[in-house]
Amino acid sequence: MNYETKLLSTSEYDITYAAKLLADGEVVGIPTETVYGLAADAENEEAVKNIFKAKGRPQDNPLIVHIADISQLEEYVYDVPQLAYKLAEKFCPGPLTMVLPKKNRIPNVTSAGLDTVGIRIPYHPAARKLIQESGKALAAPSANLSGSPSPTTAMHVMNDMNGRIPAIVDGGSCPVGVESTVISFENGKIRLLRPGFISADELSEFSEVICDKHITEAAIEGEQVRSPGMKYKHYSPKANITIISGSREQYIDYVNSHGGDGIYAMPFSRDECYCRIPCIPYGDTSEEQASKLFAVLREFDDIGAKQVYAYCPFVDGVGLAVYNRLLRAAGFEIITL
């Protein structure tokens, strides 16, 4: 791992160059509508091992496999329920990952030894072109160093991956900003494993949705989880993050009386003007907060914040995804006023 990492554009020339790298078994940072991914040929064991190396990712955390079209689904998985096709009709291409029994062509390194694999069809045009031009299904976790906030710009990827991969395709800021909604199927029901832009409410129009308890509760040491990612503290900036829950007035009073060296507030944007300690606001609607969250967490690192008091986001719709990521960034530390 000692590359001169190239920053590529989404021009036809650069996409063809990146697709060739992928076809040759290299790892490339790619834009998607959710967050940037660290992509490689999902069927090439060596290439996939290099993703784990570049990220410093634990070997037991499986990768999502990205395909260009729903017609390819059964090349990689079997026992696909009708419900999966109904969901795909509505939400794919888009930020939905469906966990299904994997066929043998998906190597065990990719699925981290599980007999299932998460499949997603991204709608970002650059991601789609890269899959099509390389002719490969692309395994891609978020393109951050393991444990860091997910990257939502090419610069975030460069900060984490410079020298570790040959190239990054710059497709601008990721519009969604949080990773895909991950689901599995259980006796005709949908189990939500990771909340995302596609909300439990939207999914519940198709079938009953079981929200896995580890979306909002920390797994106890050694406890069985349905998705390996639930075991890890994620999205963690260097600062200690604490979520503050209560009325907006209570939050403002709390931060204004808890200022000090390296202490910051992370309020809703409309409350920035009331904060008398330094702050970085993260938007007002859940959609805006989803798109800003990871960039704001990275900004706190850049300015050397030691302690951040974040105002608790809404927990419905996309807000559940924001809450889930912030809870993990906070190591589940929450103060209720």
Question: By CB under 6 A, which span of 73-81, 140-148, 248-256, 272-280 interacts with ligand TXA?
Answer: 140-148
Cβ nearer to ligand TXA, comparing 279 with 295: 295
- The distance of closest approach from Cβ of residue 95 to ligand TXA in the complex, given in angstroms and rounded to an integer, is 6
Among 9, 72, 108, 116, binds ligand TXA (CB under 6 A): 116
Among 147, 166, 228, 331, binds ligand TXA (CB under 6 A): 228
User: Binding mask 150-189 vs ligand TXA (x if CB under 6 A, - otherwise)?
Assistant: -----------------------------xx-x-------
Question: By CB under 6 A, which span of 40-48, 139-147, 252-260, 305-313 interacts with ligand TXA?
Answer: 139-147
Per CB under 6 A, 35 contacts ligand TXA: yes
Among 63, 84, 92, 296, binds ligand TXA (CB under 6 A): 63
Number of residues counted as binding ligand TXA (CB under 6 A):
28
Nearest residue to 200 via CA among 286, 311, 93, 102: 286
Among 152, 227, 289, 291, binds ligand TXA (CB under 6 A): 227
Phi-psi region of 56 (alpha: psi -120 to 50; beta: other; left: phi over 0): left
Question: By CB under 6 A, which span of 55-63, 69-77, 257-265, 305-313 interacts with ligand TXA?
Answer: 55-63
Token couple for 198: 């596609």
Q: Hey, what's the torsion of the CAs at 68, 70, 76, 78, to 10 degrees?
A: 170
Among 142, 152, 181, 286, binds Mg ion (CB under 5 A): 142
Contact between residue 229 and residue 323 where contact means Cβ atoms under 8 Å apart: no
| Contact set with ligand TXA (CB under 6 A) | 32, 34-35, 37, 61-64, 95, 97, 99, 111, 114, 116-118, 120, 140-142, 179-180, 182, 193-194, 227-229
